[in-house]
């Protein structure tokens, strides 16, 4: 959890084109990584911010940023799949959860009927990652042929 530092997020549409009129300040954010699949993101924004109400909606993409000790870093990126309203001692907040950006790779390569026969793992990884606009790297010496 990154509460207590300067946090904000930018919002994007399904093609990762920035939408909205500026960053949305966050009360807290959490990014969970998963070894064998998409991780998850959770963020809380004040419900008093009109931009949070307008732009933090289902299927919106977000990038979460943090400034700590005068250093800017990207904390994580993901897709909002569930939005809830919360009431706390400090007021009302908008809580958003969903998978991290790795989920896009899974969804884009599903149902495309791609078949790979006796190809090096690196070639298959490159072919699938390009679908999501990513790149893939494999360790040298990995020459296993796969059929998928």
Instruction: Tell me what pLDDT residue 133 has.
Output: 74
Which of 29-33, 67-71, 102-106 comes out lowest in average pLDDT? 102-106
* Contacts of 108-117 spanning 24+ positions with Cβ under 8 A: 108/132, 115/148, 116/146, 116/147, 116/148, 117/147
Closest CA to 33 of 129, 100, 119: 100
> What is the rounded distance in angstroms from the CA atom of residue 70 to the CA atom of residue 75?
15
Contact (Cβ atoms closer than 8 angstroms) between residue 140 and residue 121 = no
Report if pTM > 0.85.
no
Under the banding of pLDDT at 50, 70 and 90, the label for residue 146 is: low
Q: Token pair 């943090």 is at which residue?
A: 66
CB atoms within 10 A of CB 117: 8
pLDDT tens digits, residue range 11-24?
999 889 999 888 99
Share of the chain above pLDDT 70, in %: 86
pLDDT tens digits, residue range 58-103?
999 999 999 888 889 999 999 999 999 988 777 889 999 999 988 8
Instruction: Tell me what pLDDT residue 54 has.
Output: 93
């Amino acid at each position: 959890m990154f509460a207590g530092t300067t946090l904000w997020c930018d919002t994007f549409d399904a093609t990762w084109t920035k939408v909205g009129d500026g960053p949305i300040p966050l009360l807290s954010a959490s990014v969970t990584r998963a070894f064998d699949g998409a991780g998850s993101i959770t963020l809380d924004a004040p419900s008093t911010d009109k931009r949070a109400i307008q732009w933090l909606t289902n299927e919106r993409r977000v990038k979460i940023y943090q400034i700590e000790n005068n250093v800017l870093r990207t904390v994580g990126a993901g897709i909002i799949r569930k939005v809830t309203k919360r009431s706390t001692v400090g007021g009302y907040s908008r809580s958003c959860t969903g998978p991290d950006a790795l989920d896009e790779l899974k969804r884009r390569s599903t149902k495309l009927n791609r078949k790979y026969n006796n190809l090096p793992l690196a070639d298959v990884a490159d072919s699938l990652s390009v679908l999501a606009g990513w790149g893939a790297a494999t360790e040298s010496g990995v020459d296993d042929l796969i059929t998928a």
